[in-house]
């Protein structure tokens, strides 16, 4: 029914979610060659290592079957749109042209459907509004909005900006599926085997936890769920946090709460000192597998060959990914839209 190509596909979170709803994703494009193994092994789709700025309409069109609806999906790298870069709205940024390349490919291939996902602050930048105006100029119907992923069953307090566009008629995102009943950290990862810091589960090479120094081990043992470093004995508090400027960073060196969704997963979510990434009960940071599950990747999802796994490489893929559950929400919205169009 729907044929898709996923631009900026990364390790395949968006592709996996859309495939779960019945969308056929034929290929993903990304410049990060390290993502190829995860994308291909889990999704059965082609991975093309190529800068999207160099992709042509002809090669994209070759993936689509004539009798199917065509979907072009993508999540351009979000770093230029984050709060760290506000005030730098210049088209000379080396990553911002990627959204213009996405717009060009839409104009040249004229897919029936388009979706893009990014950080909420993308809407503060001119390049995003140029992107939306390009869709309007091509007579697309557009839905756009900020999505609280926890309302759709993601066990993580993550907010993203989602855009859906259609040539077929008005379109929208499905209603929240878990409003008022979020999936908690305990429900998501509570049944995984316990680990100590620095250990790896022999049956799952991704269920591995980073080592902790003696000082950080003492710190996490002094941490409580949902607490901060302010709960520690004075001798454990870092020098930078004793200063007035450090008091505005209460969430670093924090434990998650087992009865609530987790924090937003980042590329450094495996490190105790990088945010509220401490395991709720065990004296360690969350494992790579736990981080992947909190991003709604299925427990069997592989990211790298076992002998090549590193925290940095896999953490980057997990933190940069579109959550699989959000991909499902987008996919279900598109499938319902197409079905309603066919029935009309």
Are 21 and 102 in the same domain?
A: yes
Structure tokens at 316: 């980057």
Are 31 and 171 in the same domain?
A: yes
**pLDDT tier, 81 (very low <50, low <70, confident <90, very high otherwise):** very low
Are 23 and 162 in the same domain?
A: yes
User: Please, are residues 289 and 192 in contact by the beta-carbon 8 Å criterion?
Assistant: yes
Average pLDDT over every residue of 31-48:
97
Number of C-alpha atoms within 13 angstroms, CB side, residue 261? 24
Would the pLDDT of 93 be above 60? no
**pLDDT tier, 343 (very low <50, low <70, confident <90, very high otherwise):** confident
Report the mean per-residue pLDDT for the chain.
92
Are 82 and 61 in the same domain?
A: yes
Are 41 and 167 in the same domain?
A: yes
Looking at per-residue pLDDT, the higher value among 189 and 238 belongs to 189
Looking at per-residue pLDDT, the higher value among 77 and 27 belongs to 27
Q: How far apart are CA 22 and CA 334, in angstroms?
A: 10
Look at residues 127, 132, 114 and name the one whose alpha carbon lies nearest to residue 81: 127
Average pLDDT over every residue of 13-17:
98
Are 24 and 79 in the same domain?
A: yes
Ranges 74-78, 248-252, 318-322, 326-330: which has the least confidence: 248-252
Q: What predicted TM-score, i.e. pTM, was given to this entire model?
A: 0.93
Would the pLDDT of 243 be above 90? no
Parallel/antiparallel/unpaired status of strands 159-166 and 113-118 = antiparallel
**pLDDT tier, 230 (very low <50, low <70, confident <90, very high otherwise):** confident
**pLDDT tier, 83 (very low <50, low <70, confident <90, very high otherwise):** very low
Domain of residue 63, CATH code: 3.40.50.150
Would the pLDDT of 140 be above 80? yes
Are 243 and 130 in the same domain?
A: no
Would the pLDDT of 290 be above 80? yes
Average pLDDT over every residue of 85-104:
65
Torsion region of 17: left, alpha or beta (phi above 0 gives left; psi -120 to 50 gives alpha): alpha
147 three-state secondary structure: strand
- pLDDT score for 90: 44
Domain of residue 274, CATH code: 3.90.120.10
Active site residues: 78
Are 98 and 70 in the same domain?
A: yes
192 three-state secondary structure: coil
Are 315 and 326 in the same domain?
A: no
**pLDDT tier, 279 (very low <50, low <70, confident <90, very high otherwise):** very high
- pLDDT score for 131: 95
Are 94 and 139 in the same domain?
A: yes
Domain count, the chain: 2
Would the pLDDT of 88 be above 90? no
- pLDDT score for 341: 87
Would the pLDDT of 82 be above 60? no
Q: How far apart are CA 234 and CA 52, in angstroms?
A: 51
Residue 150 CB neighbours (<10 A): 22
Would the pLDDT of 241 be above 80? no
Are 8 and 114 in the same domain?
A: yes
Are 169 and 204 in the same domain?
A: no
Average pLDDT over every residue of 59-66:
96
Would the pLDDT of 56 be above 80? yes
Ranges 164-178, 246-260, 293-307, 329-343: which has the least confidence: 246-260
Report the percentage of the chain scoring pLDDT > 70: 91
- Residue ranges making up the domain that contains 130: 2-176+322-343
- pLDDT score for 200: 98
**pLDDT tier, 228 (very low <50, low <70, confident <90, very high otherwise):** confident
């Amino acid at each position: 029914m729907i044929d898709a190509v996923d631009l900026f596909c990364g390790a395949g979170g968006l592709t996996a979610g859309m495939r779960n709803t019945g969308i056929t994703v034929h290929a993903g494009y990304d410049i990060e060659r390290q993502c190829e193994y995860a994308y291909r092994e889990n999704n059965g789709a082609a991975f093309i290592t190529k800068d999207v700025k160099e992709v042509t309409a002809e090669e994209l069109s070759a993936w689509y079957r004539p009798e199917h609806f065509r979907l072009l999906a993508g999540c351009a790298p979000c770093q230029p749109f984050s709060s760290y870069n506000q005030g730098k709205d210049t088209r000379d940024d080396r990553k911002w042209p990627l959204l213009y390349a996405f717009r060009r490919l839409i104009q040249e291939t004229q897919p029936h459907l388009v979706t893009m996902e990014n950080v909420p602050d993308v809407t503060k930048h001119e390049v995003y509004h140029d992107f939306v105006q390009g869709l309007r100029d091509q007579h697309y119907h557009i839905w756009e909005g900020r999505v609280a992923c926890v309302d759709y069953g993601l066990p993580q307090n993550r907010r993203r900006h989602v855009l859906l566009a259609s040539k077929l008629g008005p379109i929208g995102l499905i209603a929240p599926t878990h409003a008022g009943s979020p999936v908690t950290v305990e429900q998501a990862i509570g049944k995984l085997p316990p680990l100590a810091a620095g250990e790896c589960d022999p049956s799952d090479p991704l269920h591995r936890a980073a080592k902790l120094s003696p000082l950080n081990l003492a710190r996490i043992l002094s941490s409580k769920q949902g607490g901060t470093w302010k709960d520690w004995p004075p001798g454990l508090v870092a020098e930078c946090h004793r200063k007035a400027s450090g008091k505005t960073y209460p969430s670093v060196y924090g434990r998650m709460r087992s009865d609530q969704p987790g924090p937003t997963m980042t590329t450094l979510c495996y490190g105790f000192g990088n945010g509220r990434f401490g395991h709720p009960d065990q004296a360690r940071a969350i494992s790579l597998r736990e981080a992947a599950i909190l991003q709604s990747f299925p427990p069997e999802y592989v990211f790298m060959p076992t002998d090549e796994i590193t925290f940095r490489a896999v953490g980057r893929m997990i933190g940069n990914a579109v959550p699989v559950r959000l991909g499902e929400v987008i996919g279900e919205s598109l499938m319902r839209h197409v079905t309603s169009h066919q029935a009309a």
